[in-house]
A and B are shown apart, each in its own frame.
Chain A
């Protein structure tokens, strides 16, 4: 046992192991407390259906958080890109390619604006992205004049609807498959690509990274741009699931998404993080609401327990970090 605890893998993956244990315990509680719900498939299908919408953004946001930065504007980027997607789909009689390219380009543009404000103008990201949070949502309201857009006529039953949100073998929602694939891909980039490597160095110590020849500004800008892209993508997934755009789309995403990243163990101080941890964080945060209700507690407990989870998790990580130093 002692050997196991001292092994290289355990030593280097303390965070991942802690978060996995927390998730297993949580699901055990669900399982024992509400066996009638958690021994059946539908609850898992519901999870697989709903988690990817914020999960995809959480994975992508892990890059920005590892930089020691934050982006609060992504809920509004989801809003504006979904709106554009809806407008183009309906006005081109369902031209998926044009709608997809324009919506994701707009997402990347919004990310670029954030990146430039942070690096070239020098506004702290928490402030800059509060500005763009209001800006893009405001633009959504102005353009949509408060009304929604139905894309059911141009999207339902199409091949793109099928590959985005229909059920594989009639059981597994496609968005979950995409979510798993993207998580794997992003984990690979995060740990084994030059870009991911630079993210870690810039987040760890900006001045050192600069002296080692890393272009700090470019790394930050690209991080915000990819988050813009994935926010747009998450918006498109949501559009296909709901077949409808509504002007507040994306607004509920902020806290769950960032909570998943922090519960997942990515350091608020930058320089350290894990995509796997964020993935588990998504499973935890995404299951809390249904889990709590299934356990027989009233819905009023959801936020309370959510808050408890986040506070306990970040405290544990801070303590692990402190012991290391």
Chain B
């Protein structure tokens, strides 16, 4: 039996009168990659923001490493070992890379002043060892705005590896990337499993999702409407399910 890392139980989330998540139950094991799929407005982003502490659920329970927790802030979820990699919005454009990597958890002395030297050194290490940037054009002092989409994504990944998190949350990790860059990202996701780390990711592209994930959770209008292990479903069948859902608003549960 696989070891459980994260469990969400009966999660509800409303924004005003809009019920975005309705009784969501999901579980992620150690070393498992779970793909969250569904149309726009299905509640995918909200769900991962509940996990990363950006939003608090209106009701429901969250268990991490089999202990009940209340994730009240991003800082707290990071401390527990949950790291988010957000497409595009992961970094601030006009700030230097070494500042971006440590934003929100700066290396400081006891008066709160930054240890710039250490931040730059560690950032250098992340660029070299975790991301494998070899280009001389990108240094720790580069502003983020000069980077390509894939490079930005790489920095966000490198950051999550450096902080040694157990669960990495990926929001549309391949959106707007070139084919080679997409390949890199997917390899990264696969590589996580070797280190017994878990990941949950959202992606519109089922072809990407299929290659990298162990399990698929389909969300529709705030509810989990289907859950499949990769062994049990082929790529074509998964695509069929999604088309079906799109057309009829239901997933046929057969066999």
Using a CB–CB distance below 8 Å, which chain A residues touch chain B?
Answer: 8, 12, 188, 192-195, 197-198, 200-201, 204-205, 207-215, 271-272, 324-325
Residues of B near A209 (CB, < 8 A) are 92, 103-104
Q: Across the interface, do A195 and B103 meet the contact criterion of CB distance under 8 Å?
A: no
Q: Across the interface, do B86 and A193 meet the contact criterion of CB distance under 8 Å?
A: no
C-alpha spacing A17/B52, complex, angstroms: 42
* In the complex, B25 has a CB within 8 A of chain A: no
Residues of A near B112 (CB, < 8 A) are 193-195
Q: Among residues 45 to 102 in chain B, which have CB atoms less than 8 Å away from a CB atom of chain A?
A: 52, 54, 73-75, 78, 84, 86, 89-95, 99
C-alpha spacing A192/B98, complex, angstroms: 13
C-alpha spacing A193/B115, complex, angstroms: 9
Q: Across the interface, do A271 and B84 meet the contact criterion of CB distance under 8 Å?
A: no
Output the least CB separation between A8 and chain B (Å).
8
* In the complex, B233 has a CB within 8 A of chain A: no
Given contacts A192-B113, A193-B113, A201-B95, contact A212 B106 (CB under 8 A): no
Output the least CB separation between A53 and chain B (Å).
29
Given contacts A195-B112, A197-B99, A211-B86, contact A204 B74 (CB under 8 A): no
Output the least CB separation between A59 and chain B (Å).
18
Q: Across the interface, do A213 and B104 meet the contact criterion of CB distance under 8 Å?
A: yes
Number of A-B contacts (CB under 8 A): 77
Question: Which residue in chain A gives the minimum CB-CB distance to B104?
Answer: A213
Q: Across the interface, do A207 and B89 meet the contact criterion of CB distance under 8 Å?
A: yes
With A208-B92, A324-B145 known, 9 other A-B pairs at CB within 8 A are: A188-B113, A193-B114, A194-B113, A200-B99, A201-B92, A205-B93, A208-B89, A212-B92, A325-B145
Question: Which residue in chain A gives the minimum CB-CB distance to B49?
Answer: A211
Q: Across the interface, do B94 and A271 meet the contact criterion of CB distance under 8 Å?
A: yes
Output the least CB separation between A216 and chain B (Å).
11
**Binding site of B, secondary structure by majority: helix, strand, loop or mixed?**
loop
Given contacts A211-B89, A214-B104, contact A271 B113 (CB under 8 A): no
* In the complex, B116 has a CB within 8 A of chain A: yes
Q: Across the interface, do B145 and A197 meet the contact criterion of CB distance under 8 Å?
A: no
Output the least CB separation between B175 and chain A (Å).
16
C-alpha spacing A205/B75, complex, angstroms: 18
C-alpha spacing A215/B103, complex, angstroms: 11
Output the least CB separation between B86 and chain A (Å).
6
Given contacts A208-B90, A271-B92, contact A12 B141 (CB under 8 A): yes
Number of B interface residues in the complex (CB < 8 A): 28
Q: Across the interface, do A194 and B89 meet the contact criterion of CB distance under 8 Å?
A: no
Question: Which 9 residue pairs of A and B lie closest in terms of their CB atoms, listed nearest first?
Answer: A213-B104, A213-B74, A204-B92, A212-B104, A212-B103, A213-B75, A271-B94, A194-B112, A208-B89
C-alpha spacing A167/B86, complex, angstroms: 56
Q: Across the interface, do A200 and B84 meet the contact criterion of CB distance under 8 Å?
A: no
Question: Which residue in chain A gives the minimum CB-CB distance to B78?
Answer: A213
C-alpha spacing A214/B105, complex, angstroms: 9
Q: Which among A193, A208, A271 has the highest number of chain B CB atoms within 10 Å?
A: A208
Output the least CB separation between B159 and chain A (Å).
9
C-alpha spacing A211/B75, complex, angstroms: 9
**27 A-B residue pairings within 8 Å (CB atoms):** A8-B141, A188-B113, A192-B114, A193-B112, A193-B113, A194-B112, A195-B112, A200-B94, A201-B92, A201-B99, A201-B104, A207-B89, A208-B86, A210-B74, A211-B52, A211-B54, A211-B86, A211-B90, A212-B90, A213-B74, A213-B78, A213-B103, A213-B104, A214-B104, A271-B92, A272-B94, A324-B145
Q: Among residues 128 to 175 in chain B, which have CB atoms less than 8 Å away from a CB atom of chain A?
A: 141, 145
C-alpha spacing A214/B100, complex, angstroms: 12
Specify which of A12, A193, A197, A207 is in contact with B103 (CB 8 Å cutoff).
A197
Residues of A near B90 (CB, < 8 A) are 208, 211-212
Specify which of B95, B113, B116 is in contact with A204 (CB 8 Å cutoff).
B95
Residues of B near A197 (CB, < 8 A) are 99, 103, 106, 114
Output the least CB separation between A67 and chain B (Å).
13
Output the least CB separation between B162 and chain A (Å).
14
Output the least CB separation between B33 and chain A (Å).
21
